[in-house]
Amino acid sequence: MDLRDLGLIGNCQVSALVDRRGAIVWSCLPRFDSPPVFAALLDEGGGGEFLVGPADGGVGIQRYLPNTNVLETRFEGADGTFRVLDFAPRFVQFERSFRPSKLVRMVEPLSGMPRIRVRCDPILGWTRERPQRDVGSHHVGYRGYETDVRLTTDASLSYLNGEPFALSARRHFVFSWGAPVEEPLTPLCDRFLRGTVQYWQHWVKECDIPPLYQEEVIRSALALKLHCFEDTGAIVAALTTSIPEAPGSGRTWDYRYCWLRDSFYALEAFRLLGHFEEREQFLQFLLNVASSAPELDLAPLYRVDGRTDLAERTLPEWPGFRGEGPVRVGNDAVTHRQHDVFGEMVLALTPMFLDARFKEQVTPPALDLVTRLARKAVRVAGEPDAGIWEYRKEWRPQTFSTLMCWAAADRMARIARVHRPADAEEFSTAAARTRAVILEQALDPVRGCLVADHGGREVDAALLQAVTLRLLAPSDARMVATVDAVRADLEVDGWLRRYRSDDGLGVPAVAFTLCTFWLVEALAAIGRVEEARAILERVRFLAPPLGLLSEDMDPRTKTMWGNFPQAYSHVGMIHAAFAASPRWSEVS
């Protein structure tokens, strides 16, 4: 199985990955962090899948219907041609978002009389046991779940176990978690498809995009939106677990949760795109999380409902992606101290207080929250923590964490000048003090660049954020030196690693996709736009056909690894494209 051959569908409630054989190989229902219902991604032999493909087992060509999250897989064979349309319904109904826990599959003959194979083989979560089946007139029910689970179809039920049959007319399959389908399938699926296509195309039309890299930005925006769990406002890091960072690395993590840090970067990407409803929804999520932590002892990550019961465990009986275990559920990073999250939460909320379009959201609870977050950041600045990279070794004061604490104080000073003038001096002084700590304790005296931890000598890619956050003027020699040092030490074949030091699990062997995009942003900020664009062109050349990006890239083999798709990576693409592209006024 190759990540390049997987397409993503979803509706901000459920999601699924579909491979080129026409098989759903990964889907967790009814939420992103639920146990899987289809999981061949992590166990090709016994993980369960939902196949709608050619009888001969061939692979098709995938594409998205233009500017949508509706996936088409087209198959050609000796007997004829057909296509499968996969989507999760999403549109506005009765002035509300309609996003049922349903996966819709429509298989349509295009020429000849193609022979196809259908096999729906769900599992009961991590047990990999098969549910008991109840066969009705036009559906199969699956027992053992917490609610009704049903496949409703107008195809012959006799052929749902993989027996080949001739596709003489369009057939429909709706896999439902919860309320089953009770109305005629053809008009229902037509209505679902029409509404879903119109919704996504309208959403894209409302996006701001740069003159260059338009297709990449649009696909990244659509993919990023599918990482939003609309019910609570949480934004997850990825929709999968346990895809390794590199073969043989053992670095397999569960990313189906909401990292507060990732959410900030995602919200900034939505701001660039001109979409703001995600910020409003995330504010509610953050208010909920903060209300359960009176001292603002925020965890780095949460379940999509705000809980932190995420004790990490391994499942030794699961072989893992390409046999590269272990498979992990949960994530022990929930117990870490990562002080940068306070800065990122202030940064995420700052536009709300400084943009006149959001005046009605500047409520006393919201203002109290951002003030408390900033004060917390000031208190923990410079203290040892696990940092952005979640080191599983002895903690040290991480420069990136201190940088984010500075950003919290700096932005809070701006907010206070507008909304609480009496507090402005407090935060201005704190920002100046924290910046001085960075420049005194985290600056290499020889190279004149920032370093990854206080008193250290190594760099990490997160230091590039000092440029984009404007710790100093972009033209400042220390900022330019930081960009050059990061590139000299961490760049491999045009891709950027996170760092080159032992993180407690060894030295990372692959590039972290987001870091390469950070480099593009930083180069553009210091005026080296042509270098920035050259890197983006390299990324475009290696991008998979569907434009979906994983967490990691092996610079030598050009193979994608890590959880997929990765919200961070698509956020990076959006930020980098806007940074490296000219303005519309310069090209129109």
Would you kindly state where each structural domain of the chain is located, as residue ranges? 3-186, 205-583
Domain 205-583, CATH among 3.40.50.2300, 3.90.230.10, 3.10.110.10, 1.50.10.10: 1.50.10.10
Query: Cβ distance 181 to 152 under 8 Å?
Result: yes
Q: Is the confidence at residue 294, as pLDDT, over 90?
A: no
Three-state SS string over 292-348 comes to CCCCCCCCCEECCCCCCCCCCEECCCCCCHHHCCCCEECCHHHHCCCCHHHHHHHHH
**Measured between alpha carbons, how far is 42 from 317 in angstroms, rounded to an integer?**
11
Residue 401: burial class (beta carbons within 10 Å; 0-12, 13-18, 19+) = buried
Mean pLDDT, rounded, for 56-78: 97
Strand partners, 225: none
pLDDT at 34 over 80: yes
Q: What number of other Cβ atoms are within 10 A of residue 490's Cβ?
A: 25
Q: Are 108 and 33 in contact (CB under 8 A)?
A: no
Q: What pLDDT digit, counting tens, does each position of 186-241 carry?
A: 999 999 999 999 999 999 999 999 999 999 999 999 999 999 999 999 999 999 99
pLDDT > 70: what percent of the chain? Answer: 100
* Per-residue pLDDT, 94: 81
Picking from 540, 506, 546, 547, the residue whose alpha carbon sits closest to that of residue 520 is 540
Task: Compute the half-sphere exposure of residue 390: CA atoms within 13 Å on the CB side of its CA.
Answer: 14
Closest of 570, 561, 572 to residue 510, by C-alpha? 561
**Per-residue pLDDT for 505 more than 80?**
no
pLDDT interval class at 414 (50, 70, 90): very high
Mean pLDDT of 233-254: 95
- Could you give the CA distance from residue 445 to residue 501 in angstroms, rounded to a whole number? 20
Residue 588 pLDDT more than 80? no
Residue 360 has pLDDT above 90, yes or no: no
Q: Can you tell me the distance from the alpha carbon of 451 to that of 399, in angstroms, rounded to the nearest whole number?
A: 7
Residues contacting 280, CB < 8 A, separation 6+: 233, 361
pLDDT digits (tens, 9 = 90+) for 157-184: 999 999 999 999 999 999 999 989 989 9
Does pLDDT of 25 surpass 90?
yes
Report the alpha-carbon distance of residue 289 to residue 449 in Å, rounded. 37
Q: Which residues contact 87 (CB under 8 A, 6 or more apart)?
A: 9, 11, 68, 69, 70, 71, 103, 104, 192, 193, 196
Q: Where does residue 382 fall: left (phi above 0), alpha (psi -120 to 50 degrees), or beta otherwise?
A: left
Which two tokens mark 554?
């092996």
Is the pLDDT confidence value at 244 over 80? yes
Token readout for 34 is 């639920």
Given a cut of 90, whether residue 394 has pLDDT beyond it is no
Instruction: Say how many C-beta atoms besides its own lie within 10 A of residue 316's C-beta.
Output: 9
Whole-structure pTM value: 0.95
> Quick check: 535 and 481 in contact, CB under 8 A?
no
User: What's the pLDDT score for residue 290?
Assistant: 85
Q: Which of 86-90, 393-397, 427-431, 561-565 is predicted least confidently? A: 393-397
Confidence band of 506 (pLDDT split at 50, 70, 90): confident
Specify the pLDDT at position 307. 95
Q: Hey, what CATH topology would domain 3-186 get?
A: Beta-galactosidase; Chain A, domain 5 (2.70.98)
CA dihedral of residues 341, 345, 346, 349 (deg, nearest 10): 170
In this prediction, residues 240-245 reach a mean pLDDT of: 97
Instruction: Convert the pLDDT of each residue in 565-581 to its tens digit.
Output: 999 999 999 999 999 99
Count other Cβ atoms within 10 Å, centred on residue 212.
16
64 vs 82: CA distance, rounded Å: 16
**Cβ partners under 8 Å of residue 338, min gap 6:** 261, 300, 385, 386, 387, 388, 390, 401
14 three-state secondary structure? coil
With CA atoms as reference, report the closest residue to 368 among 415, 327, 316. 415
Percent of the chain with pLDDT over 90: 84
pLDDT at site 525: 97
Question: Tokens 């146990």 correspond to what residue?
Answer: 35
